Structure 1
Amino acid sequence: MTSGRVLVSASRLLSVLGVIVVVALLPWLSGRDPALSILRARSADQEPTPAALAAIRADLGLDAGPITLLRQWFGRVLRGDLGTSWNTGRPVLPGALDALAVSTTLMGFALAVACAVATVIVAPALRAGLRGRPSRSSGVGASVLTSVPEFLLASVAVIVGSVWLSLPSYGWTGPTSAILPALALGLPAGGLLGRLLADAVSVSFTEAWVTTWTAADVDRGTLARAVLRRAASSLTSQMALVMVGLLGGAVAVERVFAIPGIGRSMLGNAQSQDLPALQTDILLLMGVSVLIGVAAQAARRALLGRSVHDRAVPVPTARVAAGRFPFVVPAVAASALGIMVLVGLPRDPFATTRGKFLPPSLAHPFGTDASGRDVLARVAHGAAHTVTVSATVALGCVLVGLVLGSAARVFTGPIEVTNAAPPVIAGVIVASVVGPGAAAAAVAVLSVSWAPLAAHTAALSAEVAARPYVAVLPTLGAGRLRVLFGSVLPAVGPAVLRHGVLRLPGIALALAALGFLGLGPQPPSPDWGLVLADGVSTVERAPWVALAPLASLVLLAVTAVSLSSAVRSRRGRRPTADPAAQADRPTALSAC
């Protein structure tokens, strides 16, 4: 046990150091002269003469090389000095703390909105369980909320707030400035948490202790609170991920509302290559993410009490009925998306017409954009690209998650650190090295999206390995690899694959967000992110430009979530002795 803890601690330490080293070496990894980037950030009009560049190198000590600078930076950090900005010459810590305070306040408001939305979504599952008929909903409503891009909600909120509600729409003047961006961030997060919690509540109602409590005539209020406590305990890690995303991944929303938060600060510092400021932002975000993770583990222990031990956690004893029309919903959504693509693919996504911002008509079913291009054509061609890339990235995440999750002790550090890195920050880092583009966006999203699947694999693998029919295999002469590939991975693979399917809409949204921020495919590519960016800028004048790609994302999300639920429903009919079915049972360790 001691050696295992030492291995986990070493993994965490090396992962944190690895991230810091990669960030510190970004200017040199990109192949660009750091002095040139700093000169352009300080004065865009100044000529990059050899003398000017040499003066910057001498002033900042860049001639010493990256290794020396990294060693000097570590020495200053140990003394409590995080350095001065390369662009402004001011200490970076006060500004970073101010940005973190703004983002933390915004996260608190957004989390309140998310909890309110999740409460509305989980209420039907709780009522059904109390009536003795626990069932999983189709999740269509939650999927629609989750698939709406935050930056699109932010753009609509700017218009609604400034025109109709007279609320602050730009900048940061206090808590009132957080109302509109909190709605933009909280609605999708609430849809995600609500769906996960509703499923966990339905499963909790099938556990044996609920039957015992019901037979003992425990009042419904006490039973409801106990079920919510049990269900919430299995989702603490997911809640922590949502909080980290609200804190550091709200770059697009902070950009739309001009909020000086930590995410927007990191994006600006990375683009200007202000290395000391960027390092400080990442260190603060990682520190807060670690604290959130520790708090999530403490909350899980408090919710479960003595049953926190893996073998003491109860498991369901009955199947949960699937929601109504489990196969009709994905069929309709997939058909609608397929028809949209088939009708739009023959059209030219780059051809321009004389009519700009034409409303939907027979000639242009989804209208035209600011350049007179057919929106249906652009959405259809973008769908072929976005769905293909998203599916490829999702499959890659499943494979990486299965491989690394099966050796969780060694990769605990990378999993935790990667969980704390929003896709936007990964996009900034990858784009700094190889430049923006479709491949860079895919690599960036893959580099951070595998971690939840690896954590899921690790949890399920520990559960399956503890079962008697697997635990006895080593005594019968089976080696570790044979146990892993012959019993453990075949049992957990289907559940992790379904988890990957559920991640498909989020991956598509992450790719769209990178395109919106200019870190993905570049114009005039018909990428959904770029089409949405065009629609966001003209949402008040021509809402149909944003409506078409939004509808496509919603259809993709509904298809993925409904298909996952339908497959789970079919698998639920297998005998409970099936190891794969046993591994698929959600527990406190296998949060959706």
Structure 2
Amino acid sequence: MRPTAAGVTRAVALAAALAAVGLLPWLSGRDPALTVLRARSAEQEPTEEALSAIRRDLGLEAGPLSLLGDWATGLLRGDLGTSWVSGTDILPSVASGLQVSLGLMAAALLVAVLLAVALVTPVLVRGRGSAGAFAAMAAAVPEFLLATVALLVCGVWLGWLPTSGWQGPEYMVLPALALGVPAGGLLGRLVADALPAVLNERWVELWQGAGVSRTRVSFAALRRVLPPLVPQFGMVAVGLTGGAVAVETVFAVPGIGRTALGAAKSQDLPLLQGAVLALLALGLVTGALAALVRRRLLGPALRDAGLSLPPARPVRAHPAIPAALGALLLAAIGWGLFRDPYAVDTTARLAPPSWSNPMGTDGLGRDVLARLGHGAASTVGTAAAVCLLSLVVALALGFVPGIASGAADIANALPPVIVGILVAAAAGPGTGGAALAVALISWPPLAAHAAALVQEVRASTFLTAQRAIGAPPLWMLTRHVLPSVAAPVARHALLRLPGIALALASLGFLGLGAQPPDPEWGLLLDESRAYVERAPWAALAPAAALALLAGLAVSGAAYAQGRGGRRTTGRTVRKETAHAV
């Protein structure tokens, strides 16, 4: 069988990702010998003799391509190398961290399944309805924000559960909830929104008329719903690997995500290579298992049939909801813009909210409201630039769907946090690196949308007529195809703006994005964790801003989807009326 374009692109993208991991010591732009010297002894002078001795000891003088080959050969033997910092073998550290992370992910997956069942059961009982606003908000809230709030409320204020470590089952509860609730909200929403349309299909009425039990009909409906949604479930499981980095960091869980983040910050690149490979393998294996489960659910007769679900009814949202959330967020930002975010007053450190400081002050006495307002430019402004870049890439790749789909499979297996760790290891942490990391994996949904629209426009009757009269291909592209595709994809990109801003904030929270004293929202939340027990208001302000941003993403998307559904219905009615006349 000849390989398809998507298969070739998938193989090339995977090889490029592995090569990037293997070449981290040289992509970083730093002398690896200097990094090792600093890790072993911060006081030793970096003389040429000392650096040369380290290069000989590590074999760095062989050149990047030769060492890349040695690294790949070691992988085939199961040898991940030796840590630059501790001098120990990397494989035991990676295996230990992976074991902890798999346990956490299993507990989070259990939470996600239980929440999804709770959201889907009412729809099966009533035969109608949807997952509702709770599922949408649960799916939109990022794991690092939920983890911080859970630590603050359940761990610090109420003292119900331990807030750090990994010493028993009780230490797993809060991390599993923080990691599993967003996944469960998304799974429940996907299934619950698809079920009403399936339950209205003709076969359900026939089965009920034949006296088939409601339980059997419900299981058959779930079997009908699941196969087209299994790829989305695989992406949810991939998202757990990225969310685990933030959750493990918040709760000090010694998992593979926290290991990767610590290795990136200490420039222990061999350990980082092993940890990232483990996370990448988790994502790829999850995607392969999702494809296998889908094939088994479909059975041999339908595997190549391209089974799809009937269209779900659009989610309705009143325009006042996104308008109110946006107005509240803009009011806080505008109020903060008139204040100085960098003014330090050590006499007012960790001051509670007052008339002079409406949201209190941070550990250096800086006004939290001012930093929140000025941080919007770093958070939302950078997200707008990433949106624009993703839109341009998606429009270009939408015309070559075979090539784009293969690269998209690899991009979907890499959460933003993992790419952010790699970019930070290569270029150092910063706003530009975080933007690049999010841009590298944010284009696949837009490209898939653009490819579907391109195919639809190319198959239209009016374009066939243009070809028949001899219209030049470039003229048809610029006058018909591109204008018909660009506007809907641009609206899609705009709806993804809050989600991209949250991804950037998560990188800032982990120290991979904006650096102090930049008032970026994720960085503000991270800085406030050190004194969250004494001054919780410093953490609540950026947390509330990020929660409003998540709510704006959910309500704005629902309102746009509802308007799109009404416009589609209107066009269908007009077409049917015209045909009837």
Please report the TM-score for the alignment, with normalisation by the length of structure 1.
Answer: 0.85
Q: Which residue of 1 aligns with 2:185?
A: 191
Aligned counterpart for 2:227 among listed residues 217, 223, 233:
233
Aligned partners of 1:404, 1:509: CA distance in 2, in Å?
25
- CA gap 1:308/1:465 in 2 versus in 1, 3 angstroms: farther
Conserved 8 A contact 2:143-2:179: yes
C-alpha offsets along residues 136-168 of structure 1, whole Å, 9 cap, x if unaligned? 84x3x3344345443344345446347856645
Aligned partners of 1:451, 1:349: CA distance in 2, in Å?
37
Conserved 8 A contact 2:391-2:446: yes
- CA gap 1:28/1:366 in 2 versus in 1, 3 angstroms: same
- Number of equivalences: 570
Using the TM superposition, give the Cα deviation of residue 527 of structure 1 relative to its aligned residue in structure 2, in angstroms.
0.8
Aligned partners of 1:349, 1:183: CA distance in 2, in Å?
34
Matches within 5 A, 1:547-566: 547-566=540-559
- CA gap 1:328/1:58 in 2 versus in 1, 3 angstroms: same
Aligned partners of 2:315, 2:340: CA distance in 1, in Å?
42
- CA gap 1:244/1:42 in 2 versus in 1, 3 angstroms: farther
- CA gap 1:185/1:202 in 2 versus in 1, 3 angstroms: same
SS of equivalent to 1:519: coil
Matches within 5 A, 1:255-274: 255-274=249-268
Conserved 8 A contact 1:110-1:185: yes
Matches within 5 A, 1:281-296: 281-296=275-290
SS of equivalent to 2:401: coil
- CA gap 1:456/1:203 in 2 versus in 1, 3 angstroms: farther
- CA gap 1:85/1:503 in 2 versus in 1, 3 angstroms: same
Conserved 8 A contact 2:241-2:415: no
Matches within 5 A, 1:347-362: 347-353=339-345, 354-362=347-355
Matches within 5 A, 1:71-90: 71-90=69-88
Aligned partners of 2:515, 2:255: CA distance in 1, in Å?
26
Using the TM superposition, give the Cα deviation of residue 66 of structure 1 relative to its aligned residue in structure 2, in angstroms.
0.8
Q: Which residue of 2 aligns with 1:28?
A: 26
Residue 439 (structure 2) pairs with residue 441 (structure 1): no
Residue 164 (structure 2) pairs with residue 170 (structure 1): yes
Aligned partners of 1:480, 1:98: CA distance in 2, in Å?
58
With 83-92 and 49-58 compared, the bigger mean Cα shift is at 83-92
SS of equivalent to 2:323: helix
SS of equivalent to 1:541: coil
SS of equivalent to 1:351: coil
Please report the TM-score for the alignment, with normalisation by the length of structure 2.
Answer: 0.86
Using the TM superposition, give the Cα deviation of residue 60 of structure 1 relative to its aligned residue in structure 2, in angstroms.
0.6
- CA gap 1:77/1:288 in 2 versus in 1, 3 angstroms: same
- CA gap 1:509/1:406 in 2 versus in 1, 3 angstroms: same
Aligned partners of 1:374, 1:162: CA distance in 2, in Å?
24
Using the TM superposition, give the Cα deviation of residue 272 of structure 1 relative to its aligned residue in structure 2, in angstroms.
3.5
Aligned partners of 1:493, 1:294: CA distance in 2, in Å?
32
SS of equivalent to 2:6: helix
Using the TM superposition, give the Cα deviation of residue 69 of structure 1 relative to its aligned residue in structure 2, in angstroms.
0.8
Percent identity, please. 48
Using the TM superposition, give the Cα deviation of residue 330 of structure 1 relative to its aligned residue in structure 2, in angstroms.
1.0
Residue 310 (structure 2) pairs with residue 315 (structure 1): yes
Residue 335 (structure 2) pairs with residue 337 (structure 1): no
Aligned partners of 1:479, 1:111: CA distance in 2, in Å?
54
C-alpha offsets along residues 279-337 of structure 1, whole Å, 9 cap, x if unaligned? 33233322232221111112223334444545553534xx72643x5212111111111
Aligned partners of 1:144, 1:38: CA distance in 2, in Å?
45
Q: Which residue of 2 aligns with 1:45?
A: 43
One-letter identity of the residue aligned with 1:328: A
With 489-498 and 169-178 compared, the bigger mean Cα shift is at 489-498
C-alpha offsets along residues 185-221 of structure 1, whole Å, 9 cap, x if unaligned? 1122223333333333344445555566566675543
SS of equivalent to 1:436: coil
Matches within 5 A, 1:54-69: 54-69=52-67
Using the TM superposition, give the Cα deviation of residue 182 of structure 1 relative to its aligned residue in structure 2, in angstroms.
0.8
Aligned partners of 2:453, 2:94: CA distance in 1, in Å?
40
Aligned partners of 1:75, 1:485: CA distance in 2, in Å?
49
Aligned partners of 1:192, 1:56: CA distance in 2, in Å?
49
One-letter identity of the residue aligned with 1:313: S
Conserved 8 A contact 1:148-1:554: yes
SS of equivalent to 1:411: helix
With 427-436 and 142-151 compared, the bigger mean Cα shift is at 142-151
- CA gap 1:205/1:512 in 2 versus in 1, 3 angstroms: same
- CA gap 1:358/1:272 in 2 versus in 1, 3 angstroms: closer
Using the TM superposition, give the Cα deviation of residue 403 of structure 1 relative to its aligned residue in structure 2, in angstroms.
2.9
Residue 567 (structure 2) pairs with residue 571 (structure 1): no
Aligned partners of 1:57, 1:155: CA distance in 2, in Å?
42
Using the TM superposition, give the Cα deviation of residue 57 of structure 1 relative to its aligned residue in structure 2, in angstroms.
0.5
Q: Which residue of 2 aligns with 1:102?
A: 100
Q: Which residue of 2 aligns with 1:327?
A: 319
Q: Which residue of 2 aligns with 1:587?
A: none
Aligned partners of 2:241, 2:448: CA distance in 1, in Å?
21
Q: Which residue of 2 aligns with 1:9?
A: 7
Q: Which residue of 2 aligns with 1:224?
A: 218
Conserved 8 A contact 1:248-1:262: no
Aligned partners of 2:334, 2:521: CA distance in 1, in Å?
16
SS of equivalent to 1:363: coil
Aligned partners of 1:424, 1:320: CA distance in 2, in Å?
33
- CA gap 1:343/1:490 in 2 versus in 1, 3 angstroms: same
One-letter identity of the residue aligned with 1:227: A
Using the TM superposition, give the Cα deviation of residue 502 of structure 1 relative to its aligned residue in structure 2, in angstroms.
4.8
With 32-41 and 207-216 compared, the bigger mean Cα shift is at 207-216
Conserved 8 A contact 2:241-2:282: no
- CA gap 1:270/1:352 in 2 versus in 1, 3 angstroms: closer
SS of equivalent to 1:573: helix
- CA gap 1:442/1:409 in 2 versus in 1, 3 angstroms: same
Measured on the aligned residues, the alpha-carbon RMSD in Å equals 3.6
One-letter identity of the residue aligned with 2:173: I
One-letter identity of the residue aligned with 2:310: V
One-letter identity of the residue aligned with 2:93: G
With 193-202 and 178-187 compared, the bigger mean Cα shift is at 193-202
SS of equivalent to 1:410: helix
With 47-56 and 303-312 compared, the bigger mean Cα shift is at 303-312
Conserved 8 A contact 2:163-2:251: yes
One-letter identity of the residue aligned with 1:535: S
SS of equivalent to 1:235: helix
